[in-house]
A and B are shown apart, each in its own frame.
Chain A
Amino acid sequence: MALISAGWRYDEERDEPLRDAIGLPVINLKLYGAFRDIERDAPELVTAHARKQAALKAVKTVYRDAIVSGLAGVQKLWADRRDPSCPWFQQAIRHLQEVDALFLAEADRLHEEFAATERPFQHPKVRSIRDNIENALATCSAVLVAGGHVGVLRNRMAFFGLDQALRGKRIFAWSGGAMVLADRILLYHDYTTHGVGLAEYLDRGFGLIPGVVFLPHAEQRLDLKSKDNIAILASRLAPMRAIGLQNGGGIGPEGRVFGREGAVTELGVDGVVRPILDAAGLDASGLDASGGRHAART
């Protein structure tokens, strides 16, 4: 099995407990370490990459400003009526969704610009690492994608082309790993030391499981008791499904849900969090064509 643990950053190679638990040979692709090699061997490419990331950060600052005002309108309209079909509420949600879409489009543009200008895959060092990754993947029957720092994980995987290289593979992904495989990556935390954080998109995911936003550790990170918050979040993410993943629960082959009841939930636009027993509706066509043998879990 191939392992991607770049989300663990400097702990990327501390994978012994995972190897012990799996009991099968594991090849760690060491993407975090590989990027450090690129920093050393291709500094000009890394500088351009850092420039792109800085530009993305600048866009995010504006995006956050737009979310603050957009969410304020949505929350006010929801609090007054609590009616998801209210046209004013729906219009406010559409505005927020447009803000989200604008940010994602800007992110796409920056990524594409970097790819077109720098052509990282043609750099000999990157090509060599990618060849090694592809060779490793060819010998593996499945890929494990661990969580951790979801930004680092997504960026390292994208840098080495894993967004494409994983298509058609059998994948077991958890927490941040599951988030990266979905359509979009949402950052959220209602219980920070300084209050509720305003949910925001990190970036696009790899779209291997389209139409879904995974919300790992939903019980710990989201105020699921607040129907208002849930209704607003689910409405904002719609038509994508907002799937909460709890420790020990997950979604397996053919959308079969496993783990304790309530370990996999769906956030409804009516503010209700419902346990789901079957996620057969999920389109996993981006994964192993032989039967969607994938698993997303926390």
Chain B
Amino acid sequence: MQRVLDLAARIERNPREANRLLNEFVSRWEFPLMDDGDNATFFYWDGQPTDAVFLQHWVFGLPSRQEFRRIGNTDAFYLPLDLPRGARVEYKFEVMRGPNGRWMHDPRNPRRAFDPFGSNSVCPAGSYEEPEWCRHDPGARQGTMQTHRFYSQSWGDEREYQLYVPAEARPGKEYPLLIVHDGTDFLHYAQMRTLLDNLIHRHEVAPLLVCFTSGVRRNWEYAANSAQADFLKHDLLAHLAATQPVLEGPQFRGIMGASFGGVSALHAAIRHPGTWGRLLLQSGSFAFTDIGEHTRGPMWDPIVSFVNNLRENPPPIDAQVYLSCGTFESLIYYNRSLVPVFQRVAQGVRFTEVPDGHNWINWRDRLREALTWLFPGPLWMYYE
């Protein structure tokens, strides 16, 4: 923030030079300004008369709309924010001119994170680094993607999925299977195909088939819906087992999802014990109540009922469970609360929490740790 304070002091001494000083300032630095590694100062100035600027972000625990401070009598604004080490914050600016506010990306920050709703600007605190294993590696052999359709008895309609087949696949050999909820989004926003190529090529993750499925009435289907659990086992898994080289046994069958997808994955494992031996649950929407009613709306009713039952009388879960959640999410409380439950009834639990939010980059960044534990590759054996 010191750089902004110095700028403000110079402008105060030379108010007629404000535009020149601001132009010099914005051409000299990258934004947001990062001090001491993890303290960010957001900055806005476009040379136009501006009434106010707000920071809009999705960090649970902080006011979601924070007002910038004006520099002197200029139309430049700044907002300092202390972030935890290694944090990653997605945000937008709300710029007020008259009564109207306009949401926009930070025009001076080229970093973006994309999701099904569009994109946000990204502020990575100093110690956050994008993992190199999620970038395209020209040396990594690429798996192939296939698109298939089949009829689902459970839903009474046709469903489509995409199947990742590892580069090493060849006739006569069978592979573990992982089913991914919100599959299309995981492919688009979490670079899952690229990172599968990389991690399998490096022998960190076992070669596996990955089925990317997406819901049609997604929130309803994923909200602890028994028809979805039946679809996953009786329709999708049965179809894959009949048509693809899938290894037998729950230890070779994983299911994953984020948010409501995490709920669906856990619900499927509990409704059909012994089917899914590997669970990857990211920022699961595991809302529950200890007393009284929840306030998240009727869509969450079946989830709250499911999680309340789970906590009250947890059944054995015949699976290894990898669980992750961002500390900037309201869901962190629910996820933390489930860890001791899983420790009692599952076959092994790993829980990771990170200073990030409910977003695709958070989920992408955890995939190496999760997949290398759930489907470890033969790295230990490779000397080449």
Question: Quick check: A10 and B380 within 8 Å, CB to CB?
Answer: no
Given that A192-B379, A194-B373 are contacting pairs, would A147 and B384 also be in contact in the complex, using a CB cutoff of 8 Å?
yes
Q: Which of A90-98, A135-143, A148-156 makes up part of the contact surface?
A: A148-156
Point out the residues of chain A lying under 8 angstroms from B318, CB to CB. Answer: none
Contact pick for A149, options B369, B372, B378, CB 8 Å = B378
Question: Quick check: B170 and A149 within 8 Å, CB to CB?
Answer: no
> Bound state CA distance, A193 and B204, in angstroms?
8
Point out the residues of chain A lying under 8 angstroms from B380, CB to CB. Answer: 187, 189, 192, 197
> Bound state CA distance, A175 and B372, in angstroms?
23
Point out the residues of chain B lying under 8 angstroms from A217, CB to CB. Answer: 383
Point out the residues of chain B lying under 8 angstroms from A189, CB to CB. Answer: 379-380
> Bound state CA distance, A146 and B384, in angstroms?
8
Point out the residues of chain A lying under 8 angstroms from B378, CB to CB. Answer: 149, 151
Given that A10-B168, A10-B170, A193-B204 are contacting pairs, would A148 and B372 also be in contact in the complex, using a CB cutoff of 8 Å?
no
Given that A10-B168, A192-B379, A193-B368 are contacting pairs, would A148 and B373 also be in contact in the complex, using a CB cutoff of 8 Å?
no
Point out the residues of chain A lying under 8 angstroms from B369, CB to CB. Answer: 193-194
> Bound state CA distance, A198 and B372, in angstroms?
17
In this complex, the member of B168, B369, B379, B381 whose beta carbon has the largest number of chain A beta carbons within 10 angstroms is B381
Tell yes or no: B382 within 8 A of A by CB: yes
Given that A10-B170, A193-B204 are contacting pairs, would A216 and B383 also be in contact in the complex, using a CB cutoff of 8 Å?
yes
Tell yes or no: A252 within 8 A of B by CB: no
> Bound state CA distance, A283 and B145, in angstroms?
52
Given that A10-B168, A10-B170, A149-B378 are contacting pairs, would A176 and B384 also be in contact in the complex, using a CB cutoff of 8 Å?
yes
> How many residues of chain A get a CB closer than 8 Å to chain B's CBs?
23
Tell yes or no: A257 within 8 A of B by CB: no
Question: Quick check: B384 and A193 within 8 Å, CB to CB?
Answer: no
> Bound state CA distance, A114 and B170, in angstroms?
29
Per-residue contact bits, chain B 341-384, to A (CB 8 Å; 1 contact, 0 not): 00000000000000000000000000011001100001111111
In this complex, the member of A8, A10, A179, A216 whose beta carbon has the largest number of chain B beta carbons within 10 angstroms is A10
B173 nearest in chain A by CB position: A10
Question: Quick check: A179 and B383 within 8 Å, CB to CB?
Answer: yes
Question: Quick check: A150 and B170 within 8 Å, CB to CB?
Answer: no
Question: Quick check: B373 and A175 within 8 Å, CB to CB?
Answer: no
Point out the residues of chain A lying under 8 angstroms from B170, CB to CB. Answer: 10
> Bound state CA distance, A270 and B373, in angstroms?
34
Tell yes or no: A250 within 8 A of B by CB: no
Tell yes or no: A7 within 8 A of B by CB: yes
Contact pick for B381, options A10, A150, A194, A216, CB 8 Å = A150
> Bound state CA distance, A151 and B382, in angstroms?
8
In this complex, the member of B168, B204, B379 whose beta carbon has the largest number of chain A beta carbons within 10 angstroms is B379
Question: Quick check: B382 and A150 within 8 Å, CB to CB?
Answer: yes
Cβ of A205 to closest chain B Cβ, rounded Å: 12
Point out the residues of chain A lying under 8 angstroms from B368, CB to CB. Answer: 193
Which secondary structure dominates where chain A touches chain B? mixed
> Bound state CA distance, A144 and B372, in angstroms?
32
> Bound state CA distance, A72 and B368, in angstroms?
28
Question: Quick check: A175 and B383 within 8 Å, CB to CB?
Answer: yes
Contact pick for B384, options A7, A151, A194, CB 8 Å = A7
> Bound state CA distance, A148 and B204, in angstroms?
14
Point out the residues of chain B lying under 8 angstroms from A197, CB to CB. Answer: 380
B133 nearest in chain A by CB position: A193
Point out the residues of chain B lying under 8 angstroms from A193, CB to CB. Answer: 204, 368-369, 372-373
> Bound state CA distance, A9 and B167, in angstroms?
13
In this complex, the member of A149, A151, A176 whose beta carbon has the largest number of chain B beta carbons within 10 angstroms is A149
Question: Quick check: A150 and B373 within 8 Å, CB to CB?
Answer: no
Per-residue contact bits, chain A 1-21, to B (CB 8 Å; 1 contact, 0 not): 000000111100000000000
Point out the residues of chain B lying under 8 angstroms from A187, CB to CB. Answer: 380-381
Question: Quick check: B383 and A147 within 8 Å, CB to CB?
Answer: yes
Given that A10-B168, A149-B378 are contacting pairs, would A176 and B372 also be in contact in the complex, using a CB cutoff of 8 Å?
no
Point out the residues of chain B lying under 8 angstroms from A8, CB to CB. Answer: 384
8 Å CB interface, A214-231 against B: 216-217
A175 nearest in chain B by CB position: B383
Point out the residues of chain B lying under 8 angstroms from A175, CB to CB. Answer: 383-384
Cβ of B82 to closest chain A Cβ, rounded Å: 30
> Bound state CA distance, A216 and B382, in angstroms?
10
Point out the residues of chain B lying under 8 angstroms from A148, CB to CB. Answer: 382-384
> Bound state CA distance, A194 and B322, in angstroms?
13
Cβ of A192 to closest chain B Cβ, rounded Å: 7
Point out the residues of chain B lying under 8 angstroms from A146, CB to CB. Answer: 384
Can you list 14 A-B pairs with a CB-CB distance of less than 8 A? A8-B384, A10-B170, A147-B383, A148-B383, A148-B384, A149-B382, A151-B378, A151-B381, A179-B383, A187-B381, A193-B369, A194-B373, A202-B381, A217-B383
Residues in B lying within 8 Å of A, measured CB to CB: 168, 170, 204, 368-369, 372-373, 378-384
8 tightest Cβ-Cβ pairs between the two chains A and B:
A176-B383, A193-B372, A147-B384, A175-B383, A216-B383, A147-B383, A148-B384, A151-B381
